[in-house]
Amino acid sequence: VNCDDARILLHGHLDGELDVVRDLEIERHLEECPRCAREFATLRAMRARLKDETFRFEAPAELKEKIRRALPQAPLRANGYLSRRRGFVPRAIQFAIPLAIGAMLALFIAPRAIRPNENDIVAREVVASHVRSMMGSHLMDVASTDQHTVKPWFNGKLDFSPPVTDFAKEGFPLVGGRLDYIDDRPVAALVYQHGKHVINVFMWPSTGTATSAERIQPEQGYHVEQLMVAGMNCWVVSDLNQPELKTFAELIRAHG
């Protein structure tokens, strides 16, 4: 690698976006070339500075509220959008459109909508709920990194008590919880974070036969893990990559 090429590839190296071979070439070049090494140190310092939260603008609460109100909360409630268009739209599509509008739910689903089994349906609800929680800014009812705050919060709101454990030490800090509605019942949703990725964990008491840990096909970029924890159905959803999500699911199982 010459310096001219390195000056661009340095950035891929910094961002962890190079393939292994290129990465090694750049590393070797940095050892040999003090000028590029100095440039790299500067770039790294710049990136570290910009990562600081002072450079990140947080959406004002009023904006989140405005958008949350504008977004349909659930597919069925989106019916109102349609009333004035009725008559133009064939009956079959009338049913499809509210779904499409509903928090952009249908577009995550439509390609796979043929003969879903029960797990698939729940998986979709779970993914849709995850997406809604991210878009509608209703991510948390109780924001706390303390499991002893989050767990009691569910008392009286649910007829069961979900196991709540903070996995901050393992790199998955608990950030809060909220009530959600999945599979026709209120459920506990725990919110964890891993880097900038948000992980939603949905829990409710199992009624049917215990289905053991099962990996669900990724739903349009989201990964879903299902497991049983302390007699509860437990669904884990995130845009986190599958192996890391699996690791996280194992943590939950181990502490359930």
Partner 1 sequence: MDAAYNLARWLVRDDHDAQDVVQDAYLRALRFAGGFRGGDPRAWILAIVRNTAFTWLKRNRGSNSPAEFDESLHHGDIADAGLEADAVRGADAAMIRDTLNELSEEFREVIVMRDIEGLSYKEIADAADLPIGTVMSRLARARGRLAKSIKERVSKEST
Least distance from partner 1 to the Cβ atom of residue 73, Å: 13
80 near partner 1, rule: CB under 8 A: no
Minimum CB distance to partner 1, residue 152 (Å) = 28
Comparison of 95 and 159: residue with beta carbon closer to partner 1: 95
Residue 46 binds partner 1, judged by CB under 8 A: yes
Q: Is 60 in the site for partner 1 (CB under 8 A)?
A: yes
Three-state DSSP string of the chain: CCHHHHHHHHHHHHCCCCCHHHHHHHHHHHHHCHHHHHHHHHHHHHHHHHCCHHHCCCCCHHHHHHHHHHCCCCCHHHHHHHHHHECCECHHHHHHHHHHHHHHCHHHHHHHCCCCCHHHHHHHHHHHHHHHHHHCCCCCCEECCCHHHHHHHCECCECCCCCCCCEHHHCECEEEEEEEEECCEEEEEEEEEECCEEEEEEEEECCCCCCCCEEEEEECCEEEEEEEECCEEEEEEECCCHHHHHHHHHHHHHHC
Q: Which of 35, 77, 148, 185 binds partner 1 (CB under 8 A)?
A: 35
140 touches 64 (CB < 8 A): no
Q: Binding string to partner 1 for residues 125 to 164, with x set by CB under 8 A, is what?
A: ------x--xx-x---------------------------
Measured distance CA(144)–CA(191) in Å, rounded: 10
Contacting partner 1 (CB under 8 A), which of 52, 83, 184, 254?
52
The stretch among 61-69, 86-94, 159-167, 209-217 that binds partner 1 (CB under 8 A) is: 61-69
The binder of partner 1 chosen from 196, 210, 243, 254 (CB under 8 A) = 196
**Residue 112 in the binding site for partner 1 (CB under 8 A):** no
**104 near partner 1, judged by CB under 8 A:** yes
Q: What is the DSSP string of 155-180?
A: BTTBSS------BGGGTB-EEEEEEE
Site stretch for partner 1 (CB under 8 A), options 6-14, 84-92, 115-123, 161-169: 6-14
Minimum CB distance to partner 1, residue 220 (Å): 5
Cβ proximity to partner 1: between 18 and 188 the closer is: 18
Residues that bind partner 1 in the complex, under the rule CB under 8 A: 7-12, 15, 17, 35, 38-39, 41-52, 54-60, 62-64, 66-67, 70-71, 100-101, 104, 106-108, 111, 131, 134-135, 137, 195-196, 220-221, 239
